[in-house]
Amino acid sequence: MAQLTCQNLSLGYDGREILHDLSFEVNAGDYLCIVGENGSGKSTLMKTILGLQAPIRGRILTGDGLRPNEIGYLPQQTVVQRDFPASVREIVLSGCQSRCGLRPFYNRQEKRLAGENMEKLGLTALEKRCYRELSGGQQQRVLLARALCATQKLLLLDEPVSGLDPKVTAEM
């Protein structure tokens, strides 16, 4: 069964369509790359899948037990994000917020998950550093670790290597 199904989806802003009649399925284990020019609707599609924006027409269905809080998302980085005054560990751990429910704190399992994702992305030595003091590539790895903490079944990456040098792009 498909985790995500888009049926006859039309997307856009202010009633103006930029994508129309888009249909596809994503199954567990699938990789799907969406390629297109700037302004072609790639980010709009992701925001619509996440429920941050309503489709103009069509439907988005989730299956295979996928719930909205099980989708990790790495958005395009903005200038505001680059200047966020928190530690690397705090940002990565914040990816676990959807797992907390009404609890106002992180449990041992969530802290362990954050640590594993920081280690996976080579961030352990930076965990106490302020995010805004990091290089662009380091910041992008922090945001990816955060998205990995947020996901359990589906991960959406919006231009994850945009603006990175070739070495960091290869690492990502």
66-115 pLDDT per residue, tens: 887 788 888 887 655 677 889 999 999 999 988 878 888 999 999 999 99
Q: Is the dihedral of CA 118, 135, 32, 52 positive or negative?
A: positive
Q: Which residue(s) pair with 13 in the sheet? A: 16
Asked if 56 and 94 sit in the same domain, the reply is no
One domain for residues 134 and 161: yes
The pLDDT value recorded for residue 146 is 93
Lowest mean pLDDT among 82-86, 116-120, 152-156: 82-86
Domain of residue 159, residue span: 69-171
Decide which of 66, 93, 111 is a domain's last residue: 66
Residue 52: DSSP 8-state = S
| In a shared domain, residues 14 and 93 | no
If asked whether residues 55 and 95 sit together in one domain, one would say no
- Rounded CA separation 83/24 (Å): 37
Q: Classify residue 121 by burial, with Cβ atoms within 10 Å: 0-12, 13-18, 19+.
A: buried
Q: Are strands 57-62 and 4-13 parallel, antiparallel or unpaired?
A: antiparallel
Greatest CA separation for the chain = 48
Residue 40 shares a structural domain with residue 61: yes
Domains identified in the chain, total number = 2
